[in-house]
Structure 1
Amino acid sequence: MIALGLEGSANKLGVGLVLHPNPTNAKYSGPAQILSNIRHTYISPPGEGFLPKDTAKHHRAFVVQLVKQALREAGVSAQDVDCICYTRGPGMGAPLQSVVVAARMLSLLWGKVLVGVNHCVGHIEMGREITGATNPVVLYVSGGNTQVIAYSTQRYRIFGETLDIAVGNCLDRFARTLNISNDPAPGYNIEQLAKKGRFLLDLPYAVKGMDCSFSGILARVDDLAAQMKKGELRDAETGELITPEDLCFSLQETVFAMLVEITERAMAHVGSNQVLIVGGVGCNERVQEMMGVMAKDRGGSVYATDERFCIDNGIMIAHAGLLAYQKGFHTRLEESTCTQRYRTDDVWVQWRDD
Structure 2
Amino acid sequence: MPGRLRKPSPLKTPDRPYLALGLEGSANKLGAGVIKHSEDGTTTVLSNVRHTYITPPGEGFQPRDTALHHREWALKVINDSLAQAHISLHDIDCICFTKGPGMGAPLQSVALVARTLSLLYSKPLIGVNHCVGHIEMGREITGASNPVVLYVSGGNTQVIAYSRQCYRIFGETLDIAVGNCLDRFARVINLSNDPSPGYNIEQGAKEGKRLVHLPYATKGMDVSLSGILSSMEAYTFDKRFRSDGRPRDADDSDIITPADLCFSLQETVFAMLVEITERAMAHIGSKQVLIVGGVGCNERLQEMMGIMAKERNGQVFATDERFCIDNGIMIAQAGLLAYRMGQVTPLAKSTCTQRYRTDQVDVTWRA
Secondary structure, aligned partner of 1:350? coil
Give, in angstroms, the shift of residue 240 of structure 1. Answer: 2.6
Which residue number in structure 2 is paired with residue 41 of structure 1? 52
Secondary structure, aligned partner of 1:49? coil
Is contact 2:213–2:243 with CA below 8 Å preserved after alignment?
no
Give, in angstroms, the shift of residue 233 of structure 1. Answer: 4.5
Secondary structure, aligned partner of 2:238? helix
Which residue number in structure 2 is paired with residue 60 of structure 1? 71
Which residue number in structure 1 is paired with residue 92 of structure 2? 81
Measure, in 2, the Cα distance between the counterparts of 1:295 and 1:101.
43
Give, in angstroms, the shift of residue 295 of structure 1. Answer: 0.1
Matches within 5 A, 1:274-293: 274-293=288-307
Measure, in 1, the Cα distance between the counterparts of 2:254 and 2:219.
34
Is contact 1:18–1:32 with CA below 8 Å preserved after alignment?
yes
Measure, in 2, the Cα distance between the counterparts of 1:129 and 1:225.
42
Matches within 5 A, 1:138-149: 138-149=149-160
Please, which runs of 5 or more residues in structure 1 have no aligned partner?
23-28
Which residue type is aligned with residue 86 of structure 1? F
1:216-245, Cα deviation, whole Å (9 max, x unpaired): 1000110001124xxx45445984311000
Measure, in 2, the Cα distance between the counterparts of 1:116 and 1:109.
18
Which residue number in structure 1 is paired with residue 194 of structure 2? 183
Measure, in 2, the Cα distance between the counterparts of 1:279 and 1:159.
17
1:264-303, Cα deviation, whole Å (9 max, x unpaired): 0000000000000000000000000000000000000100
Secondary structure, aligned partner of 1:309? helix
Matches within 5 A, 1:197-208: 197-208=208-219
Answering whether residue 83 of structure 2 is matched by residue 72 of structure 1, we say yes
Give, in angstroms, the shift of residue 120 of structure 1. Answer: 0.2
1:301-322, Cα deviation, whole Å (9 max, x unpaired): 1000000000000000000000
Give, in angstroms, the shift of residue 78 of structure 1. Answer: 1.2
Measure, in 1, the Cα distance between the counterparts of 2:316 and 2:238.
38
Secondary structure, aligned partner of 1:158? strand
Which residue number in structure 1 is paired with residue 146 of structure 2? 135
Measure, in 1, the Cα distance between the counterparts of 2:242 and 2:362.
52
Measure, in 2, the Cα distance between the counterparts of 1:199 and 1:308.
32
Is contact 1:172–1:187 with CA below 8 Å preserved after alignment?
yes
Measure, in 2, the Cα distance between the counterparts of 1:116 and 1:169.
25
Give, in angstroms, the shift of residue 144 of structure 1. Answer: 0.1
Measure, in 2, the Cα distance between the counterparts of 1:67 and 1:247.
40
Measure, in 2, the Cα distance between the counterparts of 1:32 and 1:234.
54
Give, in angstroms, the shift of residue 30 of structure 1. Answer: 2.5
Matches within 5 A, 1:145-224: 145-224=156-235
Q: Of 94, 105, 126, which residue of structure 1 is paired with 2:105? A: 94
Residue correspondences, number: 344
| Cα RMSD, aligned residues only | 1.1
Which residue number in structure 1 is paired with residue 329 of structure 2? 315
Measure, in 1, the Cα distance between the counterparts of 2:146 and 2:81.
31
Measure, in 2, the Cα distance between the counterparts of 1:161 and 1:30.
34
Secondary structure, aligned partner of 1:46? coil
Measure, in 2, the Cα distance between the counterparts of 1:313 and 1:265.
30
Measure, in 2, the Cα distance between the counterparts of 1:47 and 1:233.
24
Secondary structure, aligned partner of 1:252? helix
Give, in angstroms, the shift of residue 79 of structure 1. Answer: 1.3
Answering whether residue 310 of structure 2 is matched by residue 299 of structure 1, we say no
Is contact 1:233–1:241 with CA below 8 Å preserved after alignment?
no
Which residue number in structure 2 is paired with residue 25 of structure 1? none
Which residue number in structure 1 is paired with residue 238 of structure 2? 227
TM-score, with length taken from structure 2: 0.92
Which residue number in structure 2 is paired with residue 327 of structure 1? 341
Give, in angstroms, the shift of residue 338 of structure 1. Answer: 0.4
Measure, in 2, the Cα distance between the counterparts of 1:4 and 1:12.
16
TM-score, with length taken from structure 1: 0.96
Answering whether residue 19 of structure 2 is matched by residue 5 of structure 1, we say no
1:27-64, Cα deviation, whole Å (9 max, x unpaired): xx733200000000000111010000000000000001
Measure, in 2, the Cα distance between the counterparts of 1:255 and 1:307.
20
Measure, in 1, the Cα distance between the counterparts of 2:243 and 2:69.
44
Secondary structure, aligned partner of 1:17? strand
Which residue number in structure 2 is paired with residue 261 of structure 1? 275
Q: Of 257, 261, 265, which residue of structure 2 is paired with 1:251? A: 265
